[in-house]
Structure 1
Amino acid sequence: MIRAARRDRRTHRTSRAVGAGVAALLTLSACSSSSKSSDSSTEVDASAAAAASSKLSGTVTVFAAASLKETFTELGKEFEKEHPGTKVTFSFGGSDSLAASITGGAPAEVFAAASPKTMKTVTDAGDASGAPATFARNQLEIATLPGNPDKIASLNDLTKSGLKVVLCDKDVPCGAATQTVLDSAGVKLTPVSYEQDVKAALNKVVLKEADASIVYKTDVKAAGDTVAGVEFPESADAVNDYPIVELKAAKNAEAAKEFIALVRSSEGQKILTEAGFLKP
């Protein structure tokens, strides 16, 4: 009887040990399965992210104000680098003429203007997809010949006898802002010419066909030592907001959205501020 009882106890202990072992194996198996499932999920997520990043393709046509030429060209290269298989093409010019082209049916995905007024031409015509977003601001500056030989130190100095001054046309944002500061300061100018965009106005000084012009700070900075810049306090009266929008007729809508996202991202803002643009 005693030996039988002992055998029963040993059998019971063995059964408990086997049960514990089986439980441990089941736990390890479950953990392994969970780990594999988690790894698989991570791989799927990574694959999905990679697919989302690489799914963009085709051309993105961007109509942009002339003053954005340097920064947007750089952003275009960055966009193509981030999204292999895409190509960004630009049409730079006076915002008013670009807006007229868009409302006239010119194909494009994105419009970036140098003022809300010119953007309104596009939105009023129903050619924008969604509401425009301001992504930068810009301020005026006087551009003179290198070394500022005419000693221009203020807005009023542009009225000096014999001084050849060129201005942006009053219909483009640069010209409208210039007229605002001239009226605010009570300064009357008779320019030798009005130019269709800010780059054309600046180029007159670069080529020494004019002694001075009123352009954006960003354009003076981009021109390097080919001109000299003169700040004037009245420029604070006419700081231009730059809005951007996806166009309703965009054939590559997803790429258009991503390009706008890049412009508004911290990376895009860094490029813009380094070029002299003010934050929105």
Structure 2
Amino acid sequence: MSLSPTRRRGAAAALAAALLVTLAACGGDDGDKDSAARKTELTVLAASSLTDVFTTAGAAYEKDHPGTEVTFSFAGSQELAAQVGQGAPADALVTADTRTMDGLKPETGTPVVIAKNRLVIVTGEGNPEKVAGLADLADPSLKVVLAAPGVPVGRYAGQVLDAQKIEVRPVSQEPNVRAVLSKVELGEADAGLVYRTDAATVADKVDAIEIPDAQNAIASYPAATLKSSENSGAAAAFVSWLSSPEAQKILRDAGFQKP
């Protein structure tokens, strides 16, 4: 049965309207895909002692930069350096010492120090062994744990103890500062040397004994972009942001010192 001219025109109009709806829907999907495609994912390699503060900083950065997602990989600085040397895909690096960063000059942009830190003696809650200062760590009956010499905090600890001519025989040497803290927190060691900011993260489970400035060491935290980054502009923006008032306040609130 053939349609009348009027009905044919109506059917054509209906078909055209349906096509327009379909095209609009497809256009919306493409827009969503384009939006997702524009999202930048940054991977930042960061020293273990930055675990808590960078989790907070990352959330703040993502809030201010809705098109960017920041993922952190935390480890001892020496482990991070090894990852960079092996070509691990990442965009920026933050270490707990300038020595490690300086050893990666061919792989990084110009580093900038974003914060500083210092050591404390950490003991079990209530300081059951009554540790009063560095000299007490030489007591052979005291189970002391330190980070390995190749780890920044272990190197700082060695510098501090050597300067005071204090010989310590650690029961273990750990791969990062969080491992040292964990040993003391779990009661597997009586005392250890960690950064002040790490001790503060479990202040209800350990005691921190301050080390006088004249006997202490200052840790510097440099940040730099990685030349292998596929998001060099976004990586540079994040590294720059770490020196901003907002980021510096987050670091100060966590107990880090000014750069």
Which TM class, normalised by the smaller chain length? 0.7 to 0.9
**What whole-Å deviation, never above 9, does each CA across 1:204-251 have from its counterpart, x for those lacking one?**
011111111100000011112111000122675421111000110111
Residue in structure 2 matching 1:128, options 99, 104, 108: 108
Which residue of structure 2 aligns with residue 190 of structure 1?
A: 169
Query: Could you tell me how far 1:140 is from its partner in structure 2?
Result: 0.3
Which residue of structure 1 aligns with residue 10 of structure 2?
A: none
Task: Spell out the pairing of 1:155-170 with structure 2 (5 A cutoff).
Answer: 155-170=134-149
**What whole-Å deviation, never above 9, does each CA across 1:91-150 have from its counterpart, x for those lacking one?**
101101101110110111000010010001211xx1112x10011111000000001111
Partner Cα distance (1:276, 1:181) in 2 = 20
Which residue of structure 1 aligns with residue 101 of structure 2?
A: 119
CA contact (8 A) 1:135 1:244 kept: yes
**What whole-Å deviation, never above 9, does each CA across 1:9-59 have from its counterpart, x for those lacking one?**
xxxxxxxxxxxxxxxxxxxxxxxxxxxxxxxxxxxxxxxxxxxxxx97321
Query: Could you tell me how far 1:152 is from its partner in structure 2?
Result: 0.5
**Aligned-residue CA RMSD (Å):** 1.5
Query: Could you tell me how far 1:252 is from its partner in structure 2?
Result: 1.2
For structure 2, the 5+ residue unaligned runs are 1-36
Partner Cα distance (1:120, 1:262) in 2 = 21
Which residue of structure 1 aligns with residue 54 of structure 2?
A: 72
> Structure 1 residues 234, 178: closer, same or farther in 2, change over 3 A?
farther
> Structure 1 residues 237, 213: closer, same or farther in 2, change over 3 A?
closer
CA contact (8 A) 1:181 1:234 kept: no
Query: Could you tell me how far 1:262 is from its partner in structure 2?
Result: 2.0
Which residue of structure 2 aligns with residue 37 of structure 1?
A: none
Query: Could you tell me how far 1:255 is from its partner in structure 2?
Result: 1.7
In structure 1, what residue type is equivalent to 2:71? T
CA contact (8 A) 1:63 1:108 kept: yes
For structure 1, the 5+ residue unaligned runs are 1-54
**What whole-Å deviation, never above 9, does each CA across 1:48-90 have from its counterpart, x for those lacking one?**
xxxxxxx973210000000011111111111111121321111
Residue 221 (1) aligns with residue 192 (2): no
TM-score scaled by length of structure 2:
0.83
Which residue of structure 1 aligns with residue 33 of structure 2?
A: none
Which residue of structure 2 aligns with residue 175 of structure 1?
A: 154
In structure 1, what residue type is equivalent to 2:73? S
Residue 105 (1) aligns with residue 87 (2): yes
Partner Cα distance (1:217, 1:62) in 2 = 23
Which residue of structure 2 aligns with residue 58 of structure 1?
A: 40
Which residue of structure 1 aligns with residue 72 of structure 2?
A: 90
Query: Could you tell me how far 1:274 is from its partner in structure 2?
Result: 1.2
Return the index of the structure with the highest Cα Rg: 1
In structure 1, what residue type is equivalent to 2:76? G
Deviating 4+ runs (over 2 angstroms): 234-237
> Structure 1 residues 194, 234: closer, same or farther in 2, change over 3 A?
farther
In structure 1, what residue type is equivalent to 2:210? E
Partner Cα distance (2:235, 2:241) in 1 = 10
Residue 231 (1) aligns with residue 213 (2): no
Higher helix share: 1
Equivalent pairs counted in the alignment come to 223
Partner Cα distance (1:75, 1:274) in 2 = 11
CA contact (8 A) 1:56 1:83 kept: no
> Structure 1 residues 186, 56: closer, same or farther in 2, change over 3 A?
farther
CA contact (8 A) 1:59 1:87 kept: yes
Partner Cα distance (2:214, 2:199) in 1 = 14
Q: Partner of 1:143: helix, strand, or coil?
A: strand
